[in-house]
Structure 1
Amino acid sequence: MSRKPIVAELEIDPDTLETYRALLTEEIEASLALEDGVLSLNAVSIRNNPNQIRILEIYADQEAYEAHLRTPHFHQTAHMVTSLTLIEVDPIAMRAKP
């Protein structure tokens, strides 16, 4: 069963924002390098509210998503997140250049 994309809406403790952003970059790199089931992770911040982060996550399947949640690199930033909402979305057009 294929996993639909997820948009994660996060709010980060402003006192940890710089550290969070650096660790999130490392986490995304590690996830893509080490986890076959992680297909895409794209993170952005809201321009006028930089502690509000949005991540578009795409996994091969539900098992890959659940495995990602158990990785050490995923857990290294959990204490910095003050709010988290997960939204299942339906793709309309998702493309990237190789």
Structure 2
Amino acid sequence: MATTYHFNKPIFRALLSRLFCIAMLLFFTHDAYAQRDKRMIRMAKIEVDTNQLEAYHAALLEQMHTAIRKEPGVLSYYAVADKKDPSKITIMEIYADSAAYKRHIATTHFKKYKTTVEHMVKKLELVDLNFIGSAKQPGL
């Protein structure tokens, strides 16, 4: 014996309409987020000759400050050294997008930095990262 189901057509249409709206919202929200955050984030793990740390720091700081001052696509730099081994330096670089990064590595100041430090750097590892989120104190 066949079972027949009856449903209220206006309620079914309203439910279907809401499900469609939710699906579209999820689709476009994800798409908008992906389009909005085109930043390129790179971490450079560097090992520097311990006898040349001071000269390396000077070259790095000059390059970082020049890039921030001259290039709107270079959003931020953070450079830190391992407390136990100061020759191990990690740099977090954030660019507006990959095009900004490509422009950056073609600049005179970046090429000067690379030439200056090439004999100081013993090891270099570049790691590209995806942004998940951030938190900071107000005003920082």
Q: TM-score, normalized by length of structure 2?
A: 0.63
Question: What residue in structure 2 maps to residue 11 of structure 1?
Answer: 47
Question: What residue in structure 2 maps to residue 41 of structure 1?
Answer: 77
Structure 1 gaps, min length 5 = none
Tell me, what secondary structure is at the counterpart of 1:50? coil
What is the alpha-carbon distance in structure 2 between the residues aligned to residue 49 and residue 75 of structure 1?
27
What is the alpha-carbon distance in structure 1 between the residues aligned to residue 50 and residue 107 of structure 2?
25
- Are 2:117 and 1:81 equivalent residues in the alignment? no
Structure with the higher helix share, 1 or 2: 2
Larger relative contact order, structure 1 or 2 (CA cutoff 8 Å, min sep 6)? 1
Q: Residue 52 of structure 1 is aligned with which of 63, 69, 88?
A: 88
Percentage of pairs with the same residue: 37
Tell me, what secondary structure is at the counterpart of 1:92? coil
Would the alpha carbon gap of residues 95 and 33 (structure 1) be closer, same or farther in structure 2, given more than 3 Å must change? Answer: farther
Q: Please, which moves more after superposition, 59-68 or 76-85? A: 76-85
Tell me, what secondary structure is at the counterpart of 1:49? coil
Structure with the higher strand share, 1 or 2: 1
Contact kept, 8 Å, 1:5 with 1:90, in 2: the verdict is: yes
CA positional deviation for 1:4: 3.0
Question: What residue in structure 2 maps to residue 64 of structure 1?
Answer: 100
Q: Please, which moves more after superposition, 75-84 or 24-33? A: 75-84
Cα RMSD, aligned residues only: 1.7
Structure 2 gaps, min length 5 = 1-34
Larger radius of gyration: 2
Q: TM-score, normalized by length of structure 1?
A: 0.86
Number of equivalences:
98
What is the alpha-carbon distance in structure 2 between the residues aligned to residue 89 and residue 63 of structure 1?
16
